[in-house]
Structure 1
Amino acid sequence: MHVLVTGAGGHLGRKLFDFLETRPEFTVSGLDIRPVDHPQIHMADFGGAPAWAEHFEDVDVIVHLAGDREPAASWESSIRNNMDATLALYHHAAARGVSRVVLASSNWIHGDKRFTDDQLNGQTPPGPVNAYGMSKLFCERTGEYFAKCRGLSVICLRIGWTQWTHDNQPGPHMAMGQWGQEMWLSDRDYLKGVLAAITARDVNFAAVNLMSNNRGMRWDISETKQLIGFEPEDGGSPSLNLQIRIKSWLCKVATFSLPRAFSRVFPDW
């Protein structure tokens, strides 16, 4: 099986690329916007001219990790590097006979649920709170269209927090308090989950959570287990010191109170 990894020089991309290279059942190639010191990782700007599509020839599965990954990404960047780029990738993948795209989606699709009690699964209504989250929702919905109308299998992984610091270990150093710690994803579970998505059978379209088995988390991974056979091996327990609890409470108050106060003062906005 020939797997192409986009964003292959990035944090998640290079981990996956190197992992797949060690497995004899795969041929692996990659694309990245920056030069990478590897003969099978080529330069490509998905927001530019689609010359990169030539690298899709004889590819079975594309793992699409490229894009602007920052939650604070601007609308301009989110549209160019996430929405337009992914739409073009789906189009050329379908046209060139690629069987599946595994999309790096995001927990920010449910960003509005941070301070609620909602269970987060495939049936939970989306509520992105920033341009980045909206761009990932767009990529999921267009992926569903290509699955239904163009015969391209699309699996969207709402990837948890795989850190590039602290040796990717969970703990109070993680931002966003309890919410951040509960979405932790170990390196081992990340690689195992993407591998499951690459090799899963009889999946036309799916959008599933990819987190480790963290205590108390609201992300439901039962669908991930059922649809692609992912079984996490790791898990963490949130460590909530006083500072984290105070910061989380202040953030919750600001989230729910300030918009209402603003609307009272400026009712026409």
Structure 2
Amino acid sequence: MSSSNKVLITGAAGNIGRAFRQYAKDAGAEYSFRLADRSSDALSAVAQTEDEIMTLDVADLDACQQACANVSTVIHLAADPSPDADFYSSLLENNIKGTYNVFRAAKDQGCRRVIFASSAQAVEAYPLDVQVHSGMPVRPKNLYGVSKCFGEALASYFADVEGLSSIVVRIANFVSDSDALHGASARDLSAYISPRDLGELLLRCIETPSIKFAVFPGISNNRYKRMDLSDAREQLKYNPIDDSFAILDGLRNYSR
């Protein structure tokens, strides 16, 4: 049986895992965390004193079963995030097999919900002048995006057939340091999500009840938006604060 407030984060030592763990602490979120990643050294730099840490290779199903034991919610971030990743040498093990193993283990261990970190790359082949809505068909532009489409389909299967609440978040242009917006393309600005907004989005995904399956965009309240936020606003009450275009205007004014 799952612990009512324990959250497992796979890939916790990555940029998003680090940012979310810090946001949850700052927000006073009343959860206990199990942080899992391949690198124990990297985890030590992320973990708060009260956190449980464990090394995890998501390509190992038995290890995933152990990681999901006594957990309520799984935030599955672990993956090869490169748009240029090779299918056979990386994506097959890390993004395909690893994602299946996490969902399989979460269901077997009685977890309440899996939050799957998908990517805007799952729909990136849409023209840039088309705003993508959550209900539109997937349209990946690279094999990394294809691997995320597989994860989205897997989330739908586990929700509809095996009864595991599953939420897909298509995380777009996550930028931990706003200074990196200098020189960003219009597309990257429209797909921007700040650490604060992503942290709040993931918390809303953990806390919002009665969602069987849903797909939400992972972007901030940008002046121009690569993906439509209507579903996230309505179902999650997600109200992002940051706007990449306003941030960039501020950076330009400051540098004058």
Classify the secondary structure of the residue corresponding to 2:173. Answer: coil
Conserved 8 A contact 1:210-1:224? no
Give the counterpart letter for 1:25 in structure 2. Answer: E
Does residue 58 of structure 2 align to residue 42 of structure 1? Answer: no
CA–CA distance in structure 2, aligned partners of residues 50 and 180 of structure 1: 38
The match for 1:52 among 64, 68, 71 is: 64
CA–CA distance in structure 1, aligned partners of residues 153 and 29 of structure 2: 34
Q: What is residue 247 of structure 1 aligned with on the other side?
A: none
Deviations 1:146-181 (A, max 9, x none): 0011111010101121124xx23463423xx21111
Does residue 225 of structure 2 align to residue 217 of structure 1? Answer: yes
Superposition misfits of 4+ residues, deviation over 4 angstroms: none
CA–CA distance in structure 2, aligned partners of residues 96 and 140 of structure 1: 21
Q: What is residue 16 of structure 1 aligned with on the other side?
A: 20
Conserved 8 A contact 2:59-2:94? yes
The match for 2:106 among 82, 93, 114 is: 93
Conserved 8 A contact 1:172-1:181? no
CA–CA distance in structure 1, aligned partners of residues 195 and 21 of structure 2: 13
Fraction of identical pairs, as percent: 29
Q: What is residue 162 of structure 2 aligned with on the other side?
A: 150
Conserved 8 A contact 2:20-2:195? no
Classify the secondary structure of the residue corresponding to 2:125. Answer: helix
Q: What is residue 111 of structure 1 aligned with on the other side?
A: 124
Distance 1:171 1:10, change over 3 A: closer
Structure with larger RCO (C-alpha < 8 A, sep 6+)? 2
Deviations 1:208-255 (A, max 9, x none): 102111112231001111121211011122879xxxxxxxxxxxxxxx
Cα deviation, residue 51, structure 1:
2.2
CA–CA distance in structure 1, aligned partners of residues 232 and 52 of structure 2: 30
Q: What is residue 188 of structure 2 aligned with on the other side?
A: 180
Conserved 8 A contact 2:57-2:63? no
Q: What is residue 251 of structure 1 aligned with on the other side?
A: none
Q: CA RMSD in A?
A: 1.9
Does residue 210 of structure 2 align to residue 202 of structure 1? Answer: yes
Unaligned stretches of 5+ in structure 2? Answer: 250-256
Cα deviation, residue 24, structure 1:
5.3
Tell me the TM-score normalized by structure 1. Answer: 0.82
CA–CA distance in structure 2, aligned partners of residues 27 and 99 of structure 1: 15
Deviations 1:43-96 (A, max 9, x none): 011113522321212100000111101111111211210111111111110011
**Structure number with larger C-alpha Rg:** 1
